[in-house]
């Protein structure tokens, strides 16, 4: 497989499940402990070796672009106050010059359309797609694990991160069929969107991390609108599967669907408990809150 240098982050969504908090703040900027959601996902991509970060934005999303830029007034104030640790933190999170690009999705036409909007920035090379409301907690990172697995596959392979859910829950997700294993991955035989439990090919669901080949763009350009009147990425992947192999990787780590309130709150607790500076006091507070339960 060609080296993976670029990643797409679709951040144009309205975040209606978190209203009124997202009326003026993009859902991607909601904090998990003390870092916005999008920062965790960008960090995962950077850890995996991604060099170019492509954000597909919409109206009222300029704060995301500001987050990945320098803020001279803040840095000057921190410097004058001798806040060296805070300055180092801001410097560590800042992408290098020329490594971020922002393109606009003018209409809310779905994930497939958001990916297509980044076609000129990707060019003719494979790319990663990371959904910013899915966090994966693992030292190695989900995308890094996918890249490791992709090195053992065919040069034009597409890779999708998957995880197990209870069989009764498959009707809420995209579900894959399981074929022969190849290294740590397995061939995907089918992709079914929100099947009934009795019709599901497995209990492995698509989890919001993809490695895709550039041929997907030609298919998305001609893709008719599907469910919800949107251009569905899954529909284009099903077409691409006729000419290119798709593999699934059951990654290590725990995922959090931060597009839901429970997933978002669970992520805050889990990431706080993983921090030595916060975990002891948080455990005490949790025990106190649950003391009468």
Domain ranges, ordered by start, for the chain? 6-289
Task: Decide if 204 contacts 175 (C-beta within 8 A).
Answer: yes
pLDDT, position 256: 96
pLDDT, position 1: 67
Measured CA to CA, the distance from residue 243 to residue 69 in angstroms comes to: 40
pLDDT, position 3: 81
Which pLDDT band holds residue 95 (cuts at 50, 70, 90)?
confident
Question: Does residue 190 carry a pLDDT above 60?
Answer: yes
Q: Beta partners for 137? A: 254
Q: Which residue has the higher pLDDT, 92 or 217?
A: 217
pLDDT, position 274: 96
Which pLDDT band holds residue 292 (cuts at 50, 70, 90)?
low
pLDDT in tens, 197-242: 999 999 999 999 999 999 999 999 987 776 666 788 999 999 999 9
pLDDT in tens, 30-69: 999 999 999 999 999 999 999 999 999 988 888 999 998 8
| Architecture in CATH for domain 6-289 | Alpha-Beta Complex (3.90)
Question: Does residue 279 carry a pLDDT above 90?
Answer: yes
> Tokens 């703040």 — which residue?
25
Distances (CA, A) of 280 to 45, 128, 293: 30, 36, 21
Q: Which residue has the higher pLDDT, 293 or 249?
A: 249
Helix (H) or strand (E) holding 127: strand 127-130
Mean pLDDT rounded to a whole number for the chain: 91
Question: Does residue 141 carry a pLDDT above 90?
Answer: yes
pLDDT, position 110: 87
- Count of beta carbons in the 10 Å neighbourhood of residue 231: 21
Measured CA to CA, the distance from residue 185 to residue 202 in angstroms comes to: 15
Q: What share of the chain in percent tops pLDDT 70?
A: 98
pLDDT, position 232: 86
Residue 115 phi, psi (nearest 5): -60, -45
pLDDT in tens, 152-182: 887 789 999 999 999 999 988 899 999 999 9
Residues 6+ apart with CB under 8 A from 195: 170, 171, 175, 201
Measured CA to CA, the distance from residue 105 to residue 289 in angstroms comes to: 43
Residues 6+ apart with CB under 8 A from 207: 134, 136, 142, 160, 161, 162, 163, 251, 255
Question: Does residue 26 carry a pLDDT above 70?
Answer: yes
Task: Decide if 42 contacts 71 (C-beta within 8 A).
Answer: no
Measured CA to CA, the distance from residue 187 to residue 53 in angstroms comes to: 28
Question: Does residue 76 carry a pLDDT above 90?
Answer: no
pLDDT, position 60: 80
Q: Beta partners for 133? A: none
Nearest to 36 by CA among 284, 288, 267, 282: 267
Which pLDDT band holds residue 132 (cuts at 50, 70, 90)?
very high
Measured CA to CA, the distance from residue 246 to residue 101 in angstroms comes to: 28
Nearest to 13 by CA among 105, 121, 136, 127: 105
pLDDT in tens, 109-120: 889 999 999 999
Measured CA to CA, the distance from residue 41 to residue 47 in angstroms comes to: 10
Measured CA to CA, the distance from residue 35 to residue 37 in angstroms comes to: 7
- Overall average pLDDT of the 249-268 stretch: 95
DSSP sequence for 150-199: HTTS-TT-EEEEEEE--GGGGGGSEEEEEEEEETTEEEEEEEEES--GGG
pLDDT, position 124: 93
pLDDT, position 226: 64
Question: Does residue 293 carry a pLDDT above 60?
Answer: no
């Amino acid at each position: 497989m060609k080296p993976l240098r670029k990643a797409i982050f679709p951040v144009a969504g309205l975040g209606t499940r978190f209203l009124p908090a997202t009326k003026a703040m993009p859902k991607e900027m909601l904090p998990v402990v003390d870092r916005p959601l999008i920062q965790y996902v960008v960090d995962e991509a950077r850890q995996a070796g991604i060099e170019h970060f492509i954000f597909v934005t919409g109206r009222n999303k300029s704060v995301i672009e500001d987050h990945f830029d320098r803020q001279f007034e803040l840095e000057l104030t921190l410097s004058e106050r001798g806040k060296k640790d805070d300055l180092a933190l801001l410097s560590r999170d800042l992408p290098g010059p020329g490594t971020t690009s922002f393109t606009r999705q003018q209409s809310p036409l779905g994930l497939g359309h958001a990916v297509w909007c980044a076609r000129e920035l990707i060019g003719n090379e494979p790319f990663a797609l990371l959904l910013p409301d899915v966090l994966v907690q693992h030292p190695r990172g989900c995308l890094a694990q996918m890249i490791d697995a992709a090195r053992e596959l065919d040069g034009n392979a597409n890779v999708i991160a998957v995880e197990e859910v209870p069989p009764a829950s498959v009707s809420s997700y995209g579900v894959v069929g399981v074929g022969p294993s190849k290294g740590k991955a397995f061939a995907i035989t089918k992709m079914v969107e929100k099947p009934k439990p009795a019709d599901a090919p497995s209990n492995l669901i698509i989890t919001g991390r993809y490695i895709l080949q550039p041929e997907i763009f030609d298919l998305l350009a001609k893709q008719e609108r599907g469910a919800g009147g949107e251009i569905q990425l899954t529909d284009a992947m099903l077409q691409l599967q006729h000419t290119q192999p798709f593999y699934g990787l059951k990654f290590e780590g725990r995922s959090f669907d931060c597009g839901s309130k429970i997933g978002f709150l669970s992520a805050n607790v889990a990431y706080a408990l993983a921090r030595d500076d916060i975990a002891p006091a948080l455990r005490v507070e949790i025990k106190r809150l649950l003391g009468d339960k």
